[in-house]
Amino acid sequence: MRVLDIEPVKYEEDKMLVLDQTQLPGEMAYLEMKTKEDVWDAIYKLKVRGAPAIGVAAAYGLYVCAKDINAKNYNDFYKRFIEIKNYLASSRPTAVNLFWALDRIEGRVKEFEEEKLTIDSWENTQSAIKKAILEEAEKIRAEDESACRAMGENGLTLLKPGMGILTHCNAGTIATAKYGTCLAPLYIGHEKGYDFKVFVDETRPLLQGARLTAWELNMAGIDTTLICDNMASIVMKNGWIDAVVVGCDRMSANGDGANKIGTSGLAILAHEYGIPFYMFVPTSTIDMNTKSGDEIKIELRDGAEIYELWYEKPMAPKGIKTYNPAFDVTEAKYITAVITERGILYPPYEESLKRLFEQY
């Protein structure tokens, strides 16, 4: 199977299926999402992860839950819909695509508040609302696939054949609808014979680099070397790294970008060694209502992920205090360029991001 054919979230034969990424690379298994609890659990427990894929999962999840609503009227339907939406929104606080997708689906539902009087019966209206939710979820998935391909093409213009590339966490095809964000240029470049040499941070504590990125790139036939997170400095010093590419879970209006914990450290190292640091950010991940990274809420997770989750027995003293933030914020001053599906942005990001949204 080609890695680009693997979908992290899909809706087929009236079923929503999520690739359980917690079982990778050992087993590739899809789970059916039947209830709002199923969807919430899949997002919270990282069975589906990656900002774009979370957005797609949230959109399809809303449909799966809303299609079983049998309301008396529009207001009753909307009340039940909002309860589901708010519940799913509580699953993870940092990735903006979750809220973006949920709000976008709500926008389609609210269109029927005005239209309800022009449709023959409430039964027909309710069916039309549910159809519109599914259509919007399909659009979100298709738009993300297109955006990732465009980011890949844009990002490839910054890279040259034979480059050594360092990446962190997983922003590949299983974190998106297809292609990935920062891995998209690596896949496209591989197809064109660029012969990249990719170094993959293991990405503690959840090992998304080791379990997911290394698995993806190796399956695609790309030259891949796995390293521990604390080895990034030495591979840079050795002259093996020509560029760092990472994804993003939320970018603020000033260009600060929240990504998997450890990303900001890589950016600082890259700055010290004079290596370009590229952040790949779909426009759906840019939050112009958040002024700076200081306003981004960072998710704190169970400390057991640090010392217990991936081990046969605990690797730390029982009862030890832990601090386990899922993300950190890379300051805009360390980001060489921001790659979007609409083009490549350069500092000052307050101006280039603003222009990006004024043009569309």
Query: DSSP assignment of 263-331, as one string?
Result: HHHHHHHHHHHT--EEEE--GGGEETT--SGGGSPPPB--THHHHTTTSSS-SS-TT-----BSEEEE-
Query: What global pTM score does this model have?
Result: 0.94
- List pLDDT tens digits, range 247-260: 999 999 999 999 99
> pLDDT at residue 246 above 90?
yes
The residue-averaged pLDDT of 206-223 equals 97
Confidence of residue 118 (pLDDT cuts 50, 70, 90): low
Is pLDDT above 80 for 335?
Answer: yes
Is pLDDT above 70 for 115? no
62 token code pair: 């809303």
Is residue 116 pLDDT above 70, yes or no? no
Q: Would you state the structure tokens that stand for residue 313, as one six-digit string?
A: 């027995």
Considering 144, 201, 249, 328, which one is annotated as catalytic? 249
Largest CA distance in the chain: 71
Going by the DSSP 8-state scheme, the letter that residue 223 receives in this structure is E
Burial class (CB in 10 A: 0-12, 13-18, 19+), 225: middle
Radius of gyration of the chain (CA): 21
Amino acid at 107: G
Q: Tokens 């979230």, residue?
A: 9
The fold for domain 150-358 equals: Rossmann fold (3.40.50)
Instruction: Show Cβ contacts of residue 124 under 8 Å, excluding neighbours closer than 6 positions.
Output: none
3-145 and 150-358 have identical folds:
no
| Domain 3-145 bears CATH identifier 1.20.120.420 | yes
Half-sphere exposure (CA, 13 Å, Cβ side) for 152?
24
User: For residue 181, which of 61, 338, 304 has the smallest C-alpha distance?
Assistant: 338
Among left, alpha and beta (phi > 0; psi -120 to 50; other), residue 71 is beta
As a whole number of angstroms, the distance between CA 102 and CA 56 comes to: 9
Residue 163 in tokens = 């480059």
Mean pLDDT throughout 300-319? 94
| pLDDT-derived band at 117, boundaries 50, 70, 90 | low
DSSP string, 80-147: HHHHHHHHHHTS-SS-HHHHHHHHHHHHHHHHHHHHGGGSS-HHHHHHHHHHHHHHHHHHHHHHHHHH
Closest CA to 222 of 203, 195, 183: 195
pLDDT tier for residue 120 given thresholds of 50, 70 and 90: low
- Structure-token match 């760092």, residue found: 244
Q: Where do the structural domains in the chain lie, given as residue ranges?
A: 3-145, 150-358
76 is catalytic: no
Is residue 35 scored above 70 in pLDDT?
A: yes
Q: Which of 16, 38, 49 is nearest to 206 (CA)?
A: 49
pLDDT of residue 95: 83
Structure token digits, residue 345: 């942005």
